[in-house]
Amino acid sequence: MTVAVFAMLITRGTVVRQSDCSSPSSAWSSRRWRFGVGAYDGAVATTLGIVWNPSKGDKGELASAAVAAFDRAGVAAEFLWFETTKDDPGQGPAAAALAAGCDTIVAAGGDGTVRAVAEKLAGTGVSVGIVPQGTGNLLARNLEIPIADPRAAFHRVATASPRSVDMGWVEIDTAVGTRKHGFVVMAGFGVDARMLNETDDELKAKIGWMAYAEAMGRALTASELVDFTLSVNGATAARVKAHTMLIGNCGTIQGGMRILPDARPDDGVLDVLMVSAAGVGEWLGALKTIAWDNGLKRLFAGGADAESTDFAEYLTVTELGVELAEPQPFEIDGDEVGDVRGFSVTVQPGALSLR
């Protein structure tokens, strides 16, 4: 039985209707709400599905921001809301939004919500929007989507033209089997993954991304060179040694540091950084390569390609395979996913249509 509660709000010539469309027929539908926005004649130009993480933001505040943004843009829309859960960070709600016929599906949450929605929508042609509500907000930062301003982010969804964005896929080999995940920013092992593992959740809630910096010292101390075999773009595997490997679709990480200067989310390839520095001298050399030669220096002087050294090597790939001599912590889009024994990576060009 559907119980409808209608409220009418008239602002600048726009009528907003609100109704509770919950139904006990499935896990997600019991957490679904409908907000309709239309001109006086009842016309609806688009239907948005908003996949919302309740631990990251207040639904009422987000709904007000969405209504105000679309009203300002002069776009008539109907909003359907789909709540994530701890057990389902977004794939199920995104699938439900697809089934409901939504024209655009918005991920309103952190990086985990964005990744889960992207996994489900890759290759569907349905437009994806992002309203950042997390700590890292990595894809949003790389695409210059407004942070900490839901109204501005919704306005971008209402007015921006769709942009094709690539997506990476990684199949990880763990002690309990293999799993396949998508990523829109980057994945890898080493310092970045250990930093995430060392980050205090309570501190992150208090000071945001600065908590990652606090954990970096412990991550650097714990990093040791690891032997592994590496196959790039189908070539014969070679034995190499490094303590950190990052495979990126975008180049900027927490704190705004750009570590993959050639990475572009729409170029059809993935960029890789391998770091093998050991000891203070080598680390200083690696940091110079990453932060100066391929960072500030390149920003002011320009440069065709990222510069590699003995301690920091850059690659461009469409596929990559790694077999590790011993398991290593692994991260995907800022989420630590446990230890892996190996992994394979591919890119899906133009997988997402992003606003």
Q: What digits encode the pLDDT tens for the residues 130-160?
A: 999 998 899 999 999 999 999 999 999 999 9
Nearest CA-CA partner of 127 in 157, 168, 166, 167: 157
Residue 165, classified by CB atoms within 10 Å of its CB into exposed (0-12), middle (13-18) or buried (19+), is buried
DSSP tag of 258: B
Per-residue model confidence (pLDDT) at position 204: 45
The Cα–Cα gap between 268 and 168 comes to 10
* All domains in the chain, ordered by first residue: 8-160 (3.40.50.10330), 166-354 (2.60.200.40)
Per-residue model confidence (pLDDT) at position 239: 97
Per-residue model confidence (pLDDT) at position 281: 66
Residues 106 and 157: beta-carbon distance below 8 Å: yes
Per-residue model confidence (pLDDT) at position 301: 62
Cβ of 148: how many Cβ atoms within 10 Å? 10
**Residues of the chain where predicted confidence (pLDDT) is lower than 70:** 1-44, 192-223, 254-255, 279-286, 288, 290-304
The residues that bridge with 10 in the sheet, in sequence order, are 15
Per-residue model confidence (pLDDT) at position 14: 36
Cβ of 248: how many Cβ atoms within 10 Å? 25
The Cα–Cα gap between 354 and 161 comes to 8
